[in-house]
Copies of this chain bind each other. A is one copy, B any other.
Amino acid sequence: MLNACTPDFLSILDAAHPGLLRATAPRDVEEPRGRWQGQAAAVACPRSTAEVAGIVTACGQAGVGIVPLGGGTGLVGGQVMPEGPVPLILSLERMTALRGAYPSENVMVVEAGMILADVQAEADRLDRLFPLSLASQGSARIGGNLATNAGGVNVLRYGNTRDLCLGLEAVLPDGSIFNGLKRLRKDNTGYDLRHLLIGAEGTLGIITAASLRLFPKPAATVVALLAVPSPQAALELLALAEGQLAGLISAFELIHRMGYDFLAETMPEVTVPLSPIPDWSVLIELGLPQGVAPEEAMAGLYAQADEAGLVLDGVIATSEAQAASLWRIRESIPEGNRRIGAVSSHDISLPLSEIPAFIPRAGAALAQLGEWRINCFGHLGDGNLHYNVFPVRGRNRKEHDPQREGVKTCVHDIVHELGGSVSAEHGIGRLKVGDLERYGDPAKLAAMRAIKAALDPKGIMNPGAVLRG
């Protein structure tokens, strides 16, 4: 049983580690969707790994819970603890240093508090690419991206955050420091603690620094927005593209007409250069080597797709500005969704071949529960859809509060039955603890609980996240 973080404990902590504590600010205990209000006695802001270790050791001795905080942009409540003995927040906001740059190795070592956009910018300064890219990159911190194994738009080509990490430094629940900042592509020396900490959402330790993979920039990129007859056609288009351009497809995003309708309703300044507006479309980005003409490559793909009946219409960007405006459409969809207001949002993944059947099946099942507008879009190349359910025009999400749980269960049950995941890229946090219990493999859950108990016997690390406390 944990103890609350009391004024007495804070005094002891402050005496031992002066200058690290600050008062809790509202933003420290909020999360983006406003579902929960967190609590915290104070926020500790260590400047070094040794200071993180000192704080963790003190909390361990006192049995005080710690909620690690990065940019606070997570969507499943992993960063806010609304219940239980009041914890200490440990923010990585002062650990933002670039520890080392090794462009000839395509490696960079950064502290966990570095904002993702800054990681991208540092890589760019080295004439390299750090491909992790997601909507909240201006405030998300790389430690949080690692802790949640964040996804984003470039997973198809470059992998999830875990695939971009060669090594970690972390403070474990007993206060020991794991010095694992290797810059190696191959290292088979025992259990992969790095992959265990990545995706553990701060429940097994606090990531303090990471050795990241960088990539040479493609010689050229080209972006297109293509109307397709159906999700099945979109998948066949992906297969066609992969057959020709294996390893060169940087993004393959599915967009449903509902996304465009929401933009027309809430952000009319974002216009779609296709007429008529298609029911289904895909945004493709290719990153090409020297010797391949980008527009020709995309036009060649279009011609073959046209011949195979896989496209109806399309625009190929012929300038960086046009490419940016196509990406802006895709990137505005989440904001359009927010302005409409979802009853329930689902971050799901499916085996690719199950997607065409899933979409009508989920729609039919939800129709049994009421009338909805459904916006189904996302990272089709990864099998990762954001399947979001909205009220019909003129109705308000609040009116559907009593149905939210039923809607979610309806979608998740089908996803689970088809071999999918109910959290593709956002993690479990506190929002999906029940989903993990419902859908998770029992042997995996038992192993997770055993590992948590072994590494964090007092349960001080992010209490109640991922596993029920």
Contact = CB atoms under 8 A, between A and B. Distances in A.
Contact of A243 (B185, B216, B239): B216
Given A180-B441, A193-B444, A436-B190, A185 B349 contact: yes
A12 interface: no
A117 B467 CA distance: 41
Interface string A97-137: 00000101111000000000000000000000000000000
A248 B248 CA distance: 9
Contact of A195 (B196, B217, B242, B425): B196
A435 B422 CA distance: 41
Interface stretch (A25-33, A336-344, A450-458): A450-458
Interface stretch (A36-44, A289-297, A367-375): A289-297
Given A104-B353, A351-B184, A190 B246 contact: no
Contact of A466 (B185, B190, B351): B190
Contacts of A70: none
Interface stretch (A3-11, A197-205, A400-408): A197-205
Contacts of A188: 148-149, 151, 199, 421, 423-428
A248 B245 contact: no
A443 interface: yes
Nearest to A247: B247
Copies in the complex: 2
B193 A448 contact: yes
Nearest to A452: B191
A229 B204 CA distance: 48
A196 B185 contact: no
A247 B306 CA distance: 28
A172 interface: yes
A321 interface: no
Contacts of A291: 244, 292, 296-297, 300
A182 B439 CA distance: 13
A187 interface: yes
B244 A289 contact: yes
A436 B190 CA distance: 8
A147 to B, nearest CB: 11
A462 to B, nearest CB: 13
A2 interface: no
A192 B162 contact: yes
A183 interface: yes
A104 B215 contact: no
Contacts of A199: 188, 190-192
